[in-house]
Structure 1
Amino acid sequence: MSCSVFGPPRTHEARPPPSAYRTPASRSAAPAFRVVSTSRSNSSSPGMAASYPGLESANHGHHVGVDDKRTIRIAAAGDVHASEAHRERVESAFAEIDGEADLILLAGDVTTQGDPEEARVLADACEGLRTPVYAVLGNHDHHLGRGHEVADALRSAGVLVLDRDWAIAEVESVDVGIVGAKGFVGGFAGSSLPDFGEPLLREVYAETTAETDAIGDGLKAVAHCPLRIVLLHYAPVEGTLEGEPPGIWTYLGCARLGIPIAEHLPDLVLHGHAHAGRFESSIAETPVYNVAVQVTGRDFYVFELEATPGRSEVEVDAPPA
């Protein structure tokens, strides 16, 4: 997988893994270590055939059998920050990963300033891809107050934008549940925003509550899926923020986003936003990865998820240094 990083100039330099630097997606080495988690999915439960309206690949009752094992490849990237100035690099990155993964997940900040024309650059790169693309928006995508137009531009190219929503993608007869939300600010233990005081601050708290509730509702809806992924922009755990100044952690994520994750234990959580953060952490038994391209040093980080009854395994390359 390629490790070239595109986007606007940034204060913090990316820290790519030395062994992966400038390695194209089609030639990347096999994953170096494995994360194993216990799945709570119940594929035998009747009446749980949930689907996302309008999604052709939604659940059709296919589940991993007792003797089955499937490997699903997820290509993930956050903070792509597309713009016309970087069109060639964006299009090249998506063309290269197409067909090398089963699903592409974008963890927000798909644009530089939230201009729909910037979103069109990414949409052009996604249009006609064989690999389904799922995305959430980030803070940059809302900067001009035109987030809906950014989302519409992506949807016009077939990208499924999840905004406090969920989808089920069928891959190799395996239902992959994807819960998508932007997330929001609020902080972590020792420096967190309370639900008290001035109305404007309480509105911020309420916004994070709505994002948190959507994660929980989505995980309930995809509980029967053998593989379940949460896709965010803001961080749900402190561990992936290490490297960023602690004074700004309150604005990079919120511990409350992690509450439904700890309760439902999905197989994988992906987020972006923290350009100088750390690659990996966890919430309870669930691995959490910061896939901002400034952290991974790659256009896409590819995860291999193996689904077996009652158990899931996530394989990733050696983490960025």
Structure 2
Amino acid sequence: MSDTPSRLRLAAIGDLHVTEHDSQRYRELFKEISDNADVLALCGDLTNFGKTTEAERLAEDLVSCSIPVVAVLGNHDYECGQPEHVSHILQQAGAQVLDEQAVVIKDVGFAGVKGFVGGFGRGELGAFGESAIKTFVDEALNEARKLENALRSLRTERTVAVLHYAPVSDTVQGEPAEIFPFLGSSRLADAVDRFDNVKLVVHGHAHRGTYGGRTMRGVPVYNCAQFVVSAQFGRPYALLEV
């Protein structure tokens, strides 16, 4: 018997933007994904405004997904000020919403957070000056700390990080340069690069970004916003092996 672990097929999609008027918008897609993958990762902006009815419409479609689902929320899911309620509805539909906790599926660990803005590399905003700036940077640091803590809790040989905001500038290329600082933060990549068992990162948010990139340590990063993936593969979800 081979000691080599079997490969896990991961489907990843972000930026579903389900509205309260949608009816079975993703039901057939989730059935298709279930036939082609072992796990589905939802990379944030699952609803358009974070409304209860939007989360319920998505939950109704998730019923057709017969494989495990992990998810993170995005900024749109916070718009109505009830992200915990959105998470609860999705968890009732069988999705594991990642934030403070991680999960292991088929010997692969999954850790995730929404992430936050702040910029990349030398352009990263520092906690200096006005208290409002320090509060802003503290939010980015807190999201990175949550990701690091979740990754540290995993003892799996293979781990996937699921985000909404981008951890590297590579995958936001194609967006206007002026908004790069609002598309993600390299603090997220710093957290990823502390762990040798992280094999890949998936995220969304940058609708006009680039599909692939890497962290400083060389961990592959994939922008799985459905608009980016559709242009790359002709289908709205990425299929990756872990």
Letter of the 1:293 partner, please give it.
Q
Q: Does 1:136 align with 2:72?
A: yes
Q: 2:42 is matched with which residue?
A: 106
Change (3 A) 1:285 1:189: closer
Tell me if structure 1 keeps the 8 A contact 2:24–2:61: no
Q: TM-score, normalised by structure 1?
A: 0.70
| Number of matched pairs | 236
2:134 to 202, 215, 230: 202
Matches within 5 A, 1:118-157: 118-127=54-63, 129-157=65-93
CA deviations 1:136-188 (Å, max 9, x no partner) are 0000000111111111110111111112331111x2xxx11101100001112
RMSD: 1.5
1:247 to 169, 178, 187: 178
Which moves more between the two structures, 199-208 or 189-198? 189-198
Percent of residue pairs identical: 38
**How far apart are the structure 2 equivalents of 1:240 and 1:89?**
27
Q: Does 1:231 align with 2:167?
A: no
Q: 1:217 is matched with which residue?
A: 149
Q: 1:276 is matched with which residue?
A: 208
CA deviations 1:210-257 (Å, max 9, x no partner) are 1111111122111x2121000000000000010001110111001111
**How far apart are the structure 2 equivalents of 1:256 and 1:181?**
12
Change (3 A) 1:159 1:137: same
Tell me if structure 2 keeps the 8 A contact 1:272–1:290: yes
**How far apart are the structure 2 equivalents of 1:149 and 1:70?**
36
**How far apart are the structure 2 equivalents of 1:164 and 1:113?**
23
Q: 1:259 is matched with which residue?
A: 190
**How far apart are the structure 1 equivalents of 2:58 and 2:240?**
22
Tell me if structure 2 keeps the 8 A contact 1:127–1:157: yes
Q: Does 1:296 align with 2:223?
A: no
3-state SS in 2 of match to 1:104: strand
Letter of the 1:290 partner, please give it.
N
1:115 to 51, 61, 72: 51
Tell me if structure 1 keeps the 8 A contact 2:20–2:57: yes
3-state SS in 2 of match to 1:121: helix
3-state SS in 1 of match to 2:194: helix
Q: 1:20 is matched with which residue?
A: none
Specify which structure has the higher proportion of helix: 2
**How far apart are the structure 2 equivalents of 1:124 and 1:179?**
25
2:102 to 166, 170, 195: 166
Letter of the 1:205 partner, please give it.
V
**How far apart are the structure 1 equivalents of 2:122 and 2:7?**
40
**Which consecutive unaligned segments of at least 5 residues does structure 2 have?**
none
Q: List structure 1 runs of 4+ shifted beyond 6 angstroms.
A: none
Tell me if structure 1 keeps the 8 A contact 2:27–2:64: no
2:3 to 67, 88, 95: 67
Tell me if structure 2 keeps the 8 A contact 1:240–1:280: yes
Q: 1:77 is matched with which residue?
A: 13
Tell me if structure 1 keeps the 8 A contact 2:33–2:65: no
**How far apart are the structure 2 equivalents of 1:268 and 1:189?**
20
- 1:279 shift after superposition: 0.2
Q: 1:89 is matched with which residue?
A: 25
**How far apart are the structure 2 equivalents of 1:218 and 1:135?**
14
**How far apart are the structure 2 equivalents of 1:70 and 1:243?**
35
